[in-house]
Amino acid sequence: MSNFEVMGKGRGNIFVSLILFLSISAAAQETNLEMSMEARLESVLILNINPDTKIEFGIKKVNDNLFEITKKPDDINFSVESTGNWNLSISASKPYFTDVSDSTKKIPVDFLGYTIENRGNNWDNGIFSHIANRSKDTILPLKPEKTLVLINGRRNNIGGHSRNSFVLRWKFIFEDELSKMARFSNLSIQDGYYVDGFYITLSESKTHYKK
């Protein structure tokens, strides 16, 4: 082995050592650390409404074909907060309104109808918007059976109160539909202050439209 070869090997060793040293130095210049993060999205379905709310109205017969409403039923504000799509139904708690001072005086609940006005950011313009509102263009009669009024549309009605805020407005059916007057005139409605409860039933919808 010549001196040159020995020198060459020596330089090679130094070079390899230098590379190794630099590699170790470079690797030591960065330290990584991992942490675990978990997000749990749990189901929420809430109806915000005054639980003591009832339907109350006063009526006075002026003549056979004319009634005076002495007390109109109050509008009811409510909102829905839901992590899933939802549907909403309305029903009367009893089939009749009953006079508060004389329980023999009764009026069928379909004497009254209602509309739900949307006040939230979710649109209620039908099945292709967030909500299909069946009372948007028509007054629905109050019934003891559940009537499905609000249904989720293709844009989903998930959201909080700012998106799902509503006003339930009571309407006397005969106000807008003269054809029903004859029927109600046959009910022999008597003067009084009538009350009934009602249910708003909020249920989770199975339909969820993905983006």
Partner 1 sequence: MKKFTFILMIALLGFTFNAQCQTDAEVVNFTAVLSSVLNLNVTGGGTQTATFDTPDKYNLGIDAVGTTTVTMEATSNWKLEINAADFSDGASATIPINNLGVWCEATGAHTIGAEVTCSNTSLATAMGLSSTDQLLLDNGSGNSGDASDNAFNLNWTMGTMQGTMNTSSIFQQLSDGTIANLGSFTTTVNLTLTALP
Closest approach, Cβ 204 to partner 1, in A, equals 11
39 binds partner 1 (CB under 8 A): yes
Segment near partner 1 (CB under 8 A); pick from 21-29, 67-75, 105-113, 194-202: 21-29
Please state, in angstroms and rounded to a whole number, the distance separating the CA atoms of residues 17 and 23. Answer: 10
Does 209 participate in binding partner 1 (rule CB under 8 A)?
yes
Closest of 91, 105, 77, 89 to residue 194, by C-alpha: 105
What is the DSSP code string of 81-150? EESS-EEEEEEESSSEEEESS-TT-EEEGGGEEEEEEE-SSS--BSTTSSEEETTSSSPEEP-SS-EEEE
Q: Give the pair of three-digit tokens for residue 116.
A: 């739900």
Among the residue ranges 1-9, 108-116, 152-160, 167-175, the one whose residues contact partner 1 (CB under 8 A): 152-160
CB of 155 to partner 1, least distance (A): 8
Shortest Å distance, C-beta 84 to partner 1 = 7
Placement of tokens 């990584």 in the chain: 32
Give yes or no for residue 126 binding partner 1 (CB under 8 A): no
**125 is written with which tokens?**
């313009």
* Part of the chain binding partner 1 (CB under 8 A), chosen from 90-98, 108-116, 151-159, 197-205: 151-159
Examine residue 62 and tell whether it contacts partner 1 (CB under 8 A). Answer: no
Binding residues for partner 1, rule: CB under 8 A, are 25, 28-44, 46, 81, 83-84, 122, 130, 155-163, 208-211
